[in-house]
Amino acid sequence: MGQQGLLTMQTKPNPGLFKRNPPIAGEAEAIERAKNGDADAFSKLYSLHKRRVYTLCLRMLGNVSEAEDMTQEAFLHLFRKIGSFRGESAFSTWLHRLTVNLVLMHLRKKGLNLVSLEETINPSEEDAPKRDFGSRDLALTGSVDRVALERAVASLPPGYRMVFVLHDVEGFEHNEIATMLECSTGNSKSQLHKARLKLRELLRQPEQLPPLEGFKEVAQ
């Protein structure tokens, strides 16, 4: 896909906005060996997945230092939990869910609200939704520069960014997000709708977006 990405806002099925790599040759063998305590196999899994785990942490946290720490924490947790992987989903999906849960626990320990309720309860008249929140966003469909998109996502308010990353990037359903963030399904849909509106606004003037920090590998 190069430096271009398709910004497709879909709900069912939702493959994730930034598509993950296809199955990796030798991954299945490395998983089984790692389950048996093979350090070299675990190192291979780390090399295969560290960039995407770091990217996920950075998108959710918006802080390079925290993202680096949580990436290390995710792989330490993986080392302890890899024996519980049963292959019922793709390994990358399982690892990303594990990472998401760790990041959310980290944020809760810091006492941060994972979503903002204020704008959901009192939306302004001009940006109040005129349609079902979960539907396809045609205005955001098309060819979008990957770097500009990453910069726009990084510029979203934390609550908007969290729901956008979980739904449109990672492919979680609204009921799953509501459970993760301890909010209502309606709140999740509203946050996503507002995130898309904000992204649309930001992408109209990409030259004014702040530079990315820590995302050198994301646009590759």
pLDDT, one tens digit per residue, over 189-201 is: 999 999 999 999 9
> Per-residue pLDDT for 30 more than 90?
yes
pLDDT for residue 120: 39
For the stretch 133-168, pLDDT in tens is 444 443 444 446 778 888 899 899 988 999 999 999
DSSP strand pairing (4-6 vs 143-145): antiparallel
Is 56 within 8 Å of 170 (Cβ atoms)? yes
The stretch 192-219 carries a mean pLDDT of 80
Rg over CA atoms, the chain: 18
Give percent of the chain with pLDDT exceeding 70. 71
CA triple 93-155-1, angle to 5 deg: 50
CATH, domain range 118-208: 1.10.10.10
> Per-residue pLDDT for 174 more than 70?
yes
> Per-residue pLDDT for 87 more than 70?
yes
Domain 24-109: state its class. Answer: mainly alpha
The stretch 16-36 carries a mean pLDDT of 76
**Cα Dmax for the chain:** 58
List the chain domain ranges. Answer: 24-109, 118-208
Cis peptide before 13 (omega within 30 of 0): yes
